[in-house]
C-alpha cells in the first residue's frame, strides 16, 4: 500500500479525489492500493527548555540554554493524528511525501518519518496547485525522496538555530527588562528584531524630520493657440541635493524675468515611443502590498484570503510563493483558464476578446521559477457569488494580473521639451497614450489608480519661439517619510538587501528574498502587533516605547539583517552537503554564548511611571520649561522632537461662588 502524507486535510481530500481514494478511514482516505493521510501543519515541535533541565524558572545564570540532544514533543491537540500516521506507516509499502513543496513542508513530513523510525522507500509529490489537472500531472512525475532530503536538513538547521536565538535572547532581555521595571515579555528573534528595527528607524526619521522650504516656478506657454505647462529649472548653486530651489528670492527673480521677456525658444525636443509590458503575476509579498494599499487588508488577512482561494475554492494556485514567474509548461492550460474566467465573469468579455492566448509576456520563464510559480487562477469555473467580499476582491486582483499577460502592451509617446528664455531654462513634459493595452484591466481591477499626467503638447519645432503667457511661484515644503503600513513593511522585508553594505551578503539577501519567507512575514508582523511592539493607527504601524528600548539594547548583530544573509549562506552549504547541521548549530551556540556573557550585566532604561507617552514614538516624556511655560518633551530628544502641552488643572467652584 502506498501512503500519501499531506500537510492539511483539505490538501489530502483533493489528492484523494484524483486517486479515487474515497473510502473514509480513521484519519485517512483509502482507495485501491493507496491511502491518503494528513498532518495539521507541524504535529511535532522542538521541546521547551524545561525538557533539557531545570529551566522552567527563568534565570540569567542558566543562559545560554543549548541542548546536547535535541528533542521533539507532540503537540497535544494533534496527538491523535500522529498515532494514526504511525499506525499507517507500519503497514505501508512506500511513502509519498505530499506536503507543501518547500523547506517547511519537507520538514513536516520528515520529522514524522524519523519519529516513527520509518525505513522504507520514499517518493516526493511536488505540487503548486490543487486543481485536478495539476495533481494528475504531478502524480505522473513523482520525484525520488533523496532528491528533496537536503531541504529537510536546511529546515532543521534553521528551526533549531531560531530556537536557540529566540529562547536565549528573549529570556535574556526579558530578565534585564524586569530588572529595570518592565513588565511582560520582550521577545527577540532573528527575523522579528530586524523587522522591528525597520519601524523604529522609520519612526525616528519621521520624529526627527525638519521640513525645508523650497520654491518652484511654473510657466504657461502658448503655441498655435494651444496652452501647455513648463517648469523653470533652477541653477545648481540655488539648489539642495534633491534639486529643489531653496532660495525664494532666486525663484521670484526668475519669475519676473520670464514674465518681462514673455517668450521662450525651443532648444531641444526628445520623443520616445514607450512599449510597457504587463507586471509579473503575483508573489505573496506583492499581493500583500497591493491588498494593503488598495483594500486596506493586513498581511495576515491577505494570506488567509489567498489560502482560502487556494484550498477551499480551488480558484488559485499555491499562495505562499516568492516568485512571480510562470513555467512554460503551463502554457497549454491557458485556453482552459481563459474559458473558465469567461464563464465565471461574462463582464470580462471585452478584455477576453482582446486577449491573445499565444502571447508570451516576460512572466513565462521556466528558468526563473523557484520552489513555486506565481499566483494565478486555475481552470476551475467559479461561482463568484460563493466568495466572500474580501475573497472576491483579492481574486479579482489575481485574475487581472493573469489576464494582463495576454493583452497588448501599454504604449505611449513620452515627450520632453527644453526651452530657453534668455538665461533661464524651462522643461515641458508630455505624455500621449497610444494604447492602454493591459493597463485597462489592471486599472479596472485596482479601482483607485492615481490619475496619469497626460499633458498633450502641441506640435512644436526646434528653434521656434513660443509665447510665455503666465508664471506662478509655488512655495512648497519637503515631506517626512511615510510611516510603514503592513504592506510596505512586507515590501521592506523583501528588499532588506538595500540596507546591507557588504556586496556578497546583499546578493544573498536578494537571492533568498530578504527577511523571513513569504509564508512567515505576515505572522512575524502580527506577532509584533500582538506583543505590543507595534500598534496600528488606521493603516499605519507605529513602534511602542518598549520597541525603542529593546532596539537600543539588543546587540547590533541581532538587529542586523546581515545575520539572515549569513545563515542563508550556511543553509546553501548544508543543502549541497558542504556543511553539516551539527557544525552549523555548534557555531551558533558559540556565538550565543559570547553574546549572552557580554550582555548579562546590561542595564535597560527604566520605564517612566508618571507622565504621558510621546505621541510620535510612544517613549516616556519628561516635563520641561519653555518660553511660554511648561510642556512635555520626549525623553529621546533630540532624536525625537515629540511634545505635548501640560494639562491645566480643572478649576473647582469655590464655596459661595456663582
Task: Just list the catalytic residues.
Answer: 318
Helix axes 439-446, 389-404, angle to 10 degrees: 170
Q: Phi then psi for 118, rounded to 5 degrees?
A: -75, 130
How far is 187 from 177, CA to CA, in rounded Å? 11
Q: Name which of 618, 609, 481, 498 is nearest 551 in CA terms.
A: 618
In residues, how long is the chain?
658
* 412 strand-pairing partners: 274, 433
Would strands 263-276 and 410-421 be described as parallel, antiparallel, or unpaired?
Answer: antiparallel
Question: What phi-psi label fits residue 228: left (phi over 0), alpha (psi between -120 and 50 degrees) or beta?
Answer: beta
SS (H, E, C) 23-68: EEECCEEEECCEEEEECCCCCEEECCHHHHCCCCCCCHHHCCCCCC
Question: What phi-psi label fits residue 629: left (phi over 0), alpha (psi between -120 and 50 degrees) or beta?
Answer: left
Q: Residue 500: how many CA atoms within 13 Å on its side-chain side?
A: 27
Long-range CB pairs of 186-189 (<8 Å, 24+ gap) are: 186/546, 186/550, 187/527, 187/531, 188/550, 188/554, 188/558, 189/162, 189/165, 189/524
Cell representation of residue 519: 509564508
How far is 52 from 83, CA to CA, in rounded Å? 25
Q: Is 380 helix (H, G, I), strand (E, B) or coil?
A: coil
Q: Phi then psi for 165, rounded to 5 degrees?
A: -65, -50
Q: Are 559 and 199 in contact (CB under 8 A)?
A: no
Taking the CA atoms of 626, 628, 633 and 637 in sequence, report the sign of the dihedral they define: negative
How far is 203 from 189, CA to CA, in rounded Å? 21
* 470 strand-pairing partners: 220
What are the DSSP calls for 124-192, one per residue? E---S--SHHHHHHHHTTPEEHHHHHHHHHHHHHHHHHHHHHHHHHHHHHHHHHHHHT--S-----TTH
Amino acid at each position: 500500500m502506498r501512503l500519501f502524507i499531506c500537510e492539511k486535510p483539505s490538501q489530502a481530500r483533493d489528492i484523494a479525489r484524483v486517486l479515487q481514494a474515497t473510502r473514509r478511514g480513521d484519519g485517512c482516505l483509502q482507495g485501491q492500493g493507496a491511502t491518503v493521510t494528513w498532518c495539521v501543519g507541524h504535529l511535532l515541535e522542538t521541546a521547551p527548555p524545561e525538557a533539557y533541565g531545570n529551566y522552567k524558572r527563568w534565570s540569567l545564570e542558566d543562559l545560554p540554554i543549548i541542548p546536547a540532544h535535541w528533542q521533539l514533543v507532540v503537540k497535544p491537540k494533534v496527538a491523535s493524528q500522529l498515532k494514526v500516521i504511525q499506525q499507517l506507516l507500519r503497514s505501508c509499502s512506500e511513502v509519498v511525501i505530499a506536503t507543501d513543496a518547500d523547506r517547511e513542508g519537507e520538514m513536516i513530513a520528515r520529522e514524522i518519518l524519523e519519529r516513527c523510525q520509518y525505513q522504507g522507500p520514499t517518493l516526493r509529490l511536488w505540487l503548486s496547485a490543487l486543481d485536478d489537472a495539476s495533481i494528475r500531472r504531478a502524480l505522473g512525475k513523482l520525484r525520488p525522496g533523496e532528491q528533496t532530503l537536503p531541504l529537510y536538513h536546511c529546515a532543521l538547521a534553521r528551526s533549531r538555530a531560531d530556537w536557540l536565538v529566540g529562547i536565549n535572547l528573549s529570556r535574556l532581555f526579558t530578565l534585564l527588562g524586569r530588572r529595570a521595571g518592565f513588565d511582560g515579555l520582550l521577545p527577540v528573534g532573528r527575523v522579528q528584531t530586524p523587522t522591528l528595527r525597520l519601524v523604529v528607524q522609520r519612526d525616528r526619521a519621521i520624529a526627527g524630520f525638519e521640513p525645508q522650504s523650497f520654491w518652484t516656478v511654473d510657466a504657461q506657454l502658448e503655441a498655435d493657440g494651444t496652452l501647455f505647462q513648463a517648469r523653470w529649472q533652477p541653477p545648481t548653486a540655488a539648489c539642495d541635493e534633491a534639486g529643489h530651489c531653496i532660495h525664494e528670492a532666486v525663484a521670484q527673480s526668475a519669475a519676473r524675468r520670464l514674465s518681462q521677456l514673455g517668450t521662450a525658444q525651443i532648444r531641444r525636443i526628445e520623443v520616445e515611443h514607450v512599449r510597457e509590458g504587463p507586471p509579473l503575476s503575483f508573489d505573496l509579498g506583492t499581493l500583500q502590498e497591493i491588498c494593503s494599499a488598495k483594500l486596506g487588508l493586513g498581511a495576515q488577512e491577505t494570506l488567509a484570503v489567498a489560502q482560502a482561494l487556494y484550498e477551499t475554492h480551488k480558484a488559485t494556485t499555491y499562495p505562499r510563493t516568492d516568485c512571480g514567474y510562470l513555467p512554460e509548461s503551463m502554457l497549454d492550460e491557458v485556453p482552459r483558464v481563459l474559458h473558465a474566467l469567461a464563464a465565471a465573469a461574462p463582464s470580462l468579455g471585452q478584455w477576453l476578446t482582446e486577449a491573445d492566448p499565444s502571447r508570451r509576456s516576460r512572466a513565462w520563464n521556466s528558468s526563473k521559477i523557484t520552489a513555486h510559480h506565481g499566483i494565478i487562477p486555475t481552470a476551475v469555473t467559479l461561482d463568484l457569488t460563493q466568495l466572500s467580499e474580501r475573497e472576491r476582491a483579492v481574486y479579482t486582483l489575481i485574475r487581472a494580473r493573469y489576464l494582463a499577460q495576454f493583452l497588448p502592451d501599454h504604449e505611449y509617446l513620452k515627450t520632453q521639451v527644453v526651452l530657453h528664455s534668455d538665461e533661464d531654462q524651462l522643461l515641458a513634459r508630455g505624455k500621449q497614450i497610444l494604447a492602454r493595452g493591459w493597463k485597462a484591466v489592471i486599472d479596472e481591477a485596482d479601482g483607485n489608480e492615481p490619475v496619469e499626467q497626460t499633458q498633450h503638447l502641441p506640435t512644436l519645432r526646434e528653434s521656434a519661439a513660443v509665447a510665455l503667457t503666465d508664471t506662478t511661484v509655488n512655495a512648497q515644503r519637503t515631506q517626512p517619510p511615510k510611516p510603514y503600513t503592513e504592506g510596505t513593511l512586507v515590501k521592506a522585508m523583501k528588499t532588506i538587501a538595500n540596507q546591507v553594505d557588504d556586496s556578497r551578503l546583499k546578493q544573498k539577501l536578494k537571492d533568498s528574498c530578504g527577511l523571513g519567507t513569504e509564508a512567515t512575514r505576515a505572522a512575524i508582523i502580527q506577532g509584533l502587533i500582538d506583543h505590543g511592539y507595534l500598534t496600528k493607527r488606521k493603516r499605519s504601524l507605529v513602534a511602542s516605547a518598549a520597541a525603542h528600548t529593546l532596539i537600543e539594547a539588543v546587540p547590533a548583530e541581532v538587529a542586523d539583517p546581515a545575520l539572515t544573509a549569513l545563515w542563508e549562506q550556511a543553509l546553501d552549504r548544508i543543502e549541497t552537503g558542504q556543511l553539516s547541521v551539527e557544525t552549523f548549530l555548534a557555531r551558533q551556540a558559540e556565538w550565543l554564548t559570547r553574546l549572552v556573557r557580554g550582555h548579562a550585566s546590561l542595564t535597560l532604561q527604566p520605564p517612566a511611571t508618571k507622565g504621558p507617552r510621546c505621541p510620535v514614538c510612544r517613549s516616556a516624556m519628561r516635563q520641561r520649561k519653555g518660553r511660554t511655560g511648561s510642556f512635555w518633551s520626549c525623553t529621546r530628544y533630540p532624536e525625537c522632537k515629540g511634545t505635548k502641552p501640560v494639562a491645566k488643572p480643572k478649576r473647582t467652584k469655590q464655596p459661595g461662588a456663582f
